[in-house]
Amino acid sequence: MPEPTRNPDLTVKVGSLALSNPVMLASGTVGYGDEISKFVSLDKLGGIVVKGLSLEPVRGNRPRRIAETPGGMLNSIGLQNIGVEAFVEEKLPKLRQYDTCVVANIWGTTVDDYAGVAARLDREEGVHALELNVSCPNIKEGGISFGTDARQLHRVTSAARAATSKPLWVKLAPGVTDIGLLARAAEEAGADALSAINTIRGMMVDVARREPVLSTVFGGYSGPGLLPVALYLLFEVKRATPLPLIGIGGINELDHVLQFMTIGASAVQVGTANFYNPGFTGKMVDELIEWCAQHDVDSIEELVGSLQLPAGF
């Protein structure tokens, strides 16, 4: 008699937070869910990370804001967002109706800003976790990015930690010499999980005009070309800390999701692929179910951190 087909168990845990599956939408690539939900049912996904929220609304950078590159794109949106208050009033009620985890990505230009946004969201039902975007300059400390200096990262994470009892994720910035050091700083300051990575810096030149393509000269590189960099940095973060991890960067097919998970990501976030293929994440969930069935994987969590390293590594 043929085995009855069992549905593989796609649920994963990121610390205390359970996701229905490991596929999430990355911050800044799906707004607050309004438009993308026409292409993929949010109920089908593990979660959505909304566009980075600040205390006050932010207009963002002057155009031109994007440039296509080989294997990806640059952006310098400038963290345009409607502000945490309008998010709670206008966007959160709709997001609460979905059966998915809603993660609020938050940022600021001072430690107090981060704490303020975290405190404001702490009261809100339907926000399942906070993710700190630390790839922002600290204006009180000469503009050094919070994410590149272990002491500053510790301070901003501690401040957010004190302001919220919700699960706190820190999204690591890639432009650092030793990402493990920063991972440990976030861990010591009370982060519940780490997501990696944010965009890496890049620039493109319009030779005819002898000008940078982006109005801000340089911007954040994302898309398929980022994949090996992101996988490697996640690997380094995994070696540095026992915290649960979320893999981000360059995901363009199911194999990439599986690679992040094999290294040790409990979940992944998809960014740029939502732009050129808005239904992409729904397809990933379908393919993940099929892959588990084909590979006799009963629970996808079996894969997490199953990477076999060569002897002596």
Ligand X SMILES: Cc1cc2nc3c(=O)[nH]c(=O)nc-3n(C[C@H](O)[C@H](O)[C@H](O)COP(=O)(O)O)c2cc1C
**Residue 229: which of ligand X, another protein, none does it interact with, CB under 5 to 8 A by kind?**
none
List CB contacts of 181: < 8 A, sequence separation 6 or more. Answer: 150, 240
Pick from 153, 215, 225, 142: nearest CA to 182? 153
Least distance from ligand X to the Cβ atom of residue 308, Å: 26
Q: Is residue 277 close enough to count as binding another protein by CB under 8 A?
A: yes
Q: How many residues does the chain have?
A: 313
Least distance from ligand X to the Cβ atom of residue 280, Å: 10
Q: How many CB atoms lie within 10 A of CB 301?
A: 17
Q: Is residue 226 close enough to count as binding ligand X by CB under 6 A?
A: yes
**CA pair distance 282, 37, nearest whole angstrom:** 10
Least distance from another protein to the Cβ atom of residue 65, Å: 5
Task: Indicate which residues carry an active-site annotation.
Answer: 136
**Residue 226: which of another protein, ligand X, none does it interact with, CB under 5 to 8 A by kind?**
ligand X
Q: Is residue 233 close enough to count as binding ligand X by CB under 6 A?
A: no
92: left (phi over 0), alpha (psi -120 to 50) or beta: alpha
**Residue 56, Cβ density class (10 Å: 0-12 exposed, 13-18 middle, ≥19 buried):** middle
Chain residue whose CB lies nearest ligand X? 28
Q: How far apart are the first and last CA of the chain?
A: 46
Return the bridge partners of 104, or none. 50, 130
Q: Is residue 286 close enough to count as binding another protein by CB under 8 A?
A: no
Q: Is residue 77 close enough to count as binding another protein by CB under 8 A?
A: yes
- What would the two tokens of residue 71 be? 């294997």
Tell me which stretch binds another protein (CB under 8 A): 22-30, 84-92, 152-160, 164-172: 22-30
Binding-residue pattern over the window 284 to 313 for ligand X, x denoting contact by CB under 6 A: ------------------------------
Q: Is residue 27 close enough to count as binding ligand X by CB under 6 A?
A: yes
Q: Are 274 and 29 in contact (CB under 8 A)?
A: yes
- What would the two tokens of residue 192 be? 């519940």
Please select the residue that binds ligand X; options are 145, 152, 164, 198, rule is CB under 6 A: 198
- What would the two tokens of residue 87 be? 């998010």
Binding-residue pattern over the window 239 to 278 for ligand X, x denoting contact by CB under 6 A: ---------xxxx------------------xxxx-----
Name the site residues for ligand X (rule: CB under 6 A): 26-29, 51-52, 75, 77, 79, 105, 133, 171, 198-199, 222-223, 226, 248-251, 270-273
